[in-house]
Each structure stands twice: as C-alpha cells, then as structure tokens.
A = this chain, B = another copy of it.
Amino acid sequence: MQKYTIAVVGAMGAVGREMLKTLEQRNFPVKKIKPLDIPSNAGKKITFQEEPIAVEAAVSGAFKDVDIALFSAGADASKVLAPTAVTEGAVVIDNSSAWRMDENVPLVIPEVNPEDLSWHKGLIANPNCSTIQMLVALKPLHDRYNIKRIVVSTYQAVSGTGQKAIVELNQQVQDYVTGQPIKSNVYPYQIAFNALPHIDVFLENGYSKEEMKMVFETKKIMDKNISVSATTVRIPVFRSHSESINIETEKPFKIDEVVTTLNEAPGIIVVDNLTAANYPLAIDAEGKDEVFVGRIRRDFSIDNGLNLWVVADNLRKGAALNAIQIAETLVQKALI
C-alpha cells in the first residue's frame, strides 16, 4: 500500500491538533508526518502515533518532500503559502476561506460532491464548518425532493474561532464562579451566558461573512439554484455546532420517507425519538464523525416545508475529518 508524507500547517491550532488525531484514528497511510506552524512555534513538540515530533516553521521550501498538505492556519497564511506548497509538489487541502470561492478550486464535501475532486489543480478547499454539516444533512433530501430555499439559524461553538476562544470561555466561566470580573479579548463581548449574532466580519449588505459563506458555498457545492438565508450565532458551547434548518422543497414528501432517506444516507445518524427525549445534542456529537439529525417535522406554514435540527462536531466533520476524507477520496480515486 502506498504511503504519503503529510504536512499539517497550523499543527498547534485547534483544528491542526484534530487533524493529527483524525489521521491516527482513521489509519490514514502516513509515511511521515510533518507538523508546520508559525516560526515562533518551531521546535515545539507534537505527538503522533505516540512519537514526539518537532514542529517546523511553515515557510517556502517546507513542502518539497510533502505529498499532501493539510492547511488550517487561517486565510492569510493560506493565500501566501498554499500556492507555494502546490508549486513545491504537494496537493493542498485548505481549511481556510481563502480559496473556497475561486472557480479553479474545487470545494468538496465527500458525501455531497466527490466528483468535483476530479478537476483539482493541486489545491482543494474544505468548506466552512457550518456549511458542511448542513449540506451532509440536506444532500439526500435535495436529491429526492429538490430543495428551493433554506432558512438557517446556527448555534455555533467557540472552538470554531480556535484554541484561544476555548481558553476565553473557560476563563470567563472560571471568573464567574470565583466572582472575578469577566474579561473579553477574543470576542467583542462576553460569550459566557450570552449569544453573539456575529461570526467573522460584517459585510456591506448587513450579513456577516459567515452567513454569506453558507449562501455561496451551498450554491457552489450543491446547487446554484438554492436560495439560502442564514443567521449565524455564537453561543457558549465548547464544541459542536447546532443548526435550526427550515427548508422548502419543490416536490412533496412524507415525513417517514424523509426519515428513511436520511437514515440511508452516508455520514448521517438520525436521532429523533421525542417520547424518549431523544434529539441531537452538541455535547453528544463531540468527537464523533457523523452529522446528527433530529426534530424532523413538517413545517405547516407552507406547502413542502420541513424543519430539522442538525448537530456535528465542528472540529471533526466541520474541519479536520472532512479534510482527511478529501485526502482519502483522492487516494481511492487515484487523483494524487
């Protein structure tokens, strides 16, 4: 079996760490792991398959022996360094927003549009976390009923912002419990015991960049004819995003058919037994690979309306796992 040299760019970050863990857990055929990060982190050690490995500086020249470079170091770093890595011979799978809307770059969720990997030119973009879990849940319904419109409100975990936001929420609850004043650095306001309708920067049109990512990425990945209206909100959860999704389909459906369709689709676990108070929960999804779907019910306010509650681990399926599934699909399809 062929093995691959894998660079993880941003290896010290929340997603980078999860990428290393996911590579281990899924037994990806790794010849050599190359953890890269900002120069000031060079020399620090990460652990892979119980071996300590020194982090190296993510700079040009670092990708000459790399087969696959998994990038999760932010959009600015990706803008500069991803093309360098491609030039040096690596296939880049980039978790940032830098290349997602570039028409020369496939934007891929393996359960939704694996066929788009065939036209990659060395650079493949990993979609936004909130888009990935929504489209894994909606793809089988779109195939069967043709989704026309999506109205989504999100309940997003702080780990989506990165390791520093996990530390901030932790510190804020600690300061709350010990009666210290609560300080905010990562977010503009206290996130503990609060809900911030503000993810990424705001744009001219009144939407946040996170909201528009859900609009544009859905069109690029699944169907350009689907209209999306999104409200993205940060809540005091460490891990796993939850989403309240309302869809309108062209074709009529029966609820039991919808449940069966979701149950049979890849990457989905239906959790929906109301008499047992069973529904997807952020704390249950943590560390899991699947997208959990529940609260499946007809929206009686229109014809062909449906409501869903969709939860997934934002660092796993929303980031690290999806990137590694892209790598696995490249290997399977001999596209690398």
Contact = CB atoms under 8 A, between A and B. Distances in A.
A227 B149 CA distance: 17
A146 interface: no
Contacts of A277: 188-189, 198, 202
A1 interface: no
A244 interface: yes
A45 interface: no
Given A274-B202, A295-B206, A296-B206, A194 B281 contact: yes
Given A189-B283, A193-B238, A237-B195, A275 B228 contact: no
Copies of this chain held together in the complex: 2
A84 interface: no
A196 B235 CA distance: 12
A260 interface: no
Interface string A304-320: 01010100000000000
Interface string A222-257: 000001110101011110001010100000000100
A277 B194 CA distance: 15
Q: How would you classify the secondary structure of chain A's contact residues: helix, strand, loop or mixed?
A: mixed
Contact of A246 (B151, B197, B309): B151
Interface residues of A toward B: which range?
Answer: 35 or more
Contacts of A206: 255, 274, 295-298
Contacts of A194: 237, 281-283
A195 B244 CA distance: 11
A13 to B, nearest CB: 21
Contact of A242 (B195, B202, B242, B280): B195
Interface in A30-81: none
A283 B297 CA distance: 32
A304 to B, nearest CB: 12
Contacts of A297: 205-207
Interface in A176-198: 176-178, 188-190, 193-198
A294 interface: yes
Contacts of A188: 277
A238 B194 CA distance: 8
A263 interface: no
A180 B71 CA distance: 37
Given A235-B235, A295-B206, A149 B195 contact: no
10 contacts: A193-B282, A193-B283, A194-B237, A194-B281, A197-B244, A206-B298, A227-B302, A231-B307, A231-B309, A235-B235
